[in-house]
Structure 1
């Protein structure tokens, strides 16, 4: 049993960050293209390609469908005839903790882990300012409990927080033509620069236009990798739940375009389809609000993360006694004791409904993979991962719309943690 699994009750899935994980996909694609690289966590492109069963090719397309968990796909496969036909050969990979886009896509893009990339969830505290940083929009709310309209830009450049070279950068340096195809608003965004910098960016809004953009990018000769992102499966799940008819319709549309993509790219092109995480549907009767639960609010200076993976911070950026430096090298006097007390109160309230761990326990167990010194202060003093369909929100910092989401993710359940890796070679089979 791994250290990460040792902290988790039976039935939950621990992240691994090895060749059986989402971190291996882009290094594996590099290996398929004949490019040798080794990531900061020790993954090599050759080992990843071999472990994932990827053939040697000159062109690779990698499609990341946000929110398309392996179990979500398998249980709704009637809406995906093309992908269903490939399910018998599909590999199941584990994603990150938390099982959410910022952490997973940065791990995917660098071939490392959240503890290296510094992208630890939907929101996290900036230790230098105390603001609640949103790692998807790359914005920061300076005073989280007195929200003001319009958060300001996160005052941390993408390359300063996420310091690992991306696989795209390494491929470009090796002479591989790299192209990302996605919405115009993602071009040059903080998250794109952090997790997926390198190569060219082609803006395309509809899925059909993105598939056409991939095909155009592959026409020139020479080795090439093209990346396509699609977010509407996840978005639909958030609003309607992954078991809804709306989610089924969105999966059908995605499946149809993936099939067209495989038919349209040059013969011999390797097409990989994966996801950043899956989803579960909320149980509104089991939802808890920190703002309305004194035992949960006591001793907590700030709640980060998301309803299925919370970072609880017991001190402000300088500590209650002013001894905690912004670099995190010195914690405020008594911080460990306060964190332990918060963890105990949360365990008392949540019982078997969540896994509650101190920062030291979670990092020692490898939940975030290796954690670098500059990333450690961003990690919550206490980490909380709800089980089953429980969610924990904080109405002081979350928008009314976010409080009403039907589908969520972030925790350790199989539906959230397992993602597919579908592989097809154009012109074969």
Structure 2
């Protein structure tokens, strides 16, 4: 693994470009000219987001995915955004906006109105999702233009805080097993002449977290996804395109390559809230302590982490265009881990988080790069 990373070019193709591009291919007027991937004009599209299926991992282990491997040569390798974490990426995916605009800027971030950390994945005791993220989603805009929008996923996603913030719009169909989600997606695509179906699958990410993304278990799960996608492609109407993407990649970090802040009182001095996650912490600090804490962290971690002030991270473009509403949600300091390294706090973080072998959140290419794989329709559409 290397330290190579790149600030996402938000004006080019990123994860935030995927749904606007699909909407353009479906003829949604609000997104005319938005396509960044050369998608074919079609009346129907199924978009599949496979949680944790980073481009580099897929390319490295493509032997487990013969169906997807057929399309890798024409696939696009794009950055998901920053931080490389599900809540942030879902915000970018669902709204077509960068994190600094949609406001879902990390796994755990500060709610300035309550001075409490918000877990943007679980949304436990969180604010009104429509207030937290008020921008219209791509699904809502597509639905308003006459496209039948269906979202297929686990039942507990329906009405959740993250779903309502980032992915609201259209109808929700609950299905537990992957084959059932494929069947629901096929049925939804067939039901209406002009349709956008979104299918989410999270097991690749879960297996990678628990067993590591280099494990045989990860490969087995990718094989299962690949078989399901091949079945989906065989069963959708002939004029349907399929777009496969992901929310982030992943790296394995050995447990002996982790620093526990519970044993580092000097690093925690002046830190009011410890946000983010082990690969990308966001520190909310006492007034006036930002520079001193930054210097202490830089001296202690050296090349193992990049310690940025909020202004540095925003000015460099990591969060894209950042609004005044969103700015105070970002940590006073953003600590992006490098190499195979992570920082935990055994006194503050849940033991389930600390026990994960596969992790993500930082700026390495392995975490940033995700695929956009287009499976074209079996026949050209005669009109949308």
**Common fold: TM-score over 0.5:** yes
- 2:50 aligned partner: 65
Q: Does 1:380 align with 2:331?
A: yes
In 2, the alpha carbon distance for the partners of 1:198 and 1:26 equals 13
Deviates more, 1:161-170 or 1:392-401: 392-401
* Inter-CA distance 185–10: structure 2 relative to 1 (3 Å threshold): closer
Whether the 8 Å CA contact 2:51–2:247 is kept in 1: the answer is yes
Q: Does 1:91 align with 2:102?
A: no
Q: For 1:161, which of 120, 132, 140 is the aligned residue?
A: 132
Q: Does 1:225 align with 2:196?
A: yes
Deviation at 1:67, TM superposition (A): 0.3
Deviation at 1:10, TM superposition (A): 6.7
Deviations, residues 151-191 of structure 1 (Å, cap 9, x unaligned):
xx21x100111111100000011111000000000000000
In 2, the alpha carbon distance for the partners of 1:276 and 1:26 equals 13
User: Secondary structure of 2:27's partner?
Assistant: coil
Deviates more, 1:12-21 or 1:363-372: 12-21
- 2:310 aligned partner: 359
- Structure 1 unaligned regions, length at least 5: 1-8, 38-44, 140-152, 316-334
In 1, the alpha carbon distance for the partners of 2:28 and 2:175 equals 28
User: Secondary structure of 2:29's partner?
Assistant: coil
Q: Does 1:19 align with 2:12?
A: yes
When the two structures are superposed, what TM-score results if normalisation uses the length of structure 2? 0.96
Whether the 8 Å CA contact 2:15–2:80 is kept in 1: the answer is yes
Whether the 8 Å CA contact 2:3–2:339 is kept in 1: the answer is no
Q: Which structure exhibits the higher relative contact order, with contacts defined as CA atoms closer than 8 Å and separated by 6 or more residues?
A: 2
Q: For 1:137, which of 122, 127, 139 is the aligned residue?
A: 122
Deviations, residues 339-376 of structure 1 (Å, cap 9, x unaligned):
11111110001101111111111111111111111111
When the two structures are superposed, what TM-score results if normalisation uses the length of structure 1? 0.86
* Inter-CA distance 10–398: structure 2 relative to 1 (3 Å threshold): closer
Q: Does 1:345 align with 2:296?
A: yes
Alignment length, in residue pairs? Answer: 379
Deviation at 1:138, TM superposition (A): 0.3
- 1:393 aligned partner: 344
- 2:375 aligned partner: 424
- 1:207 aligned partner: 178
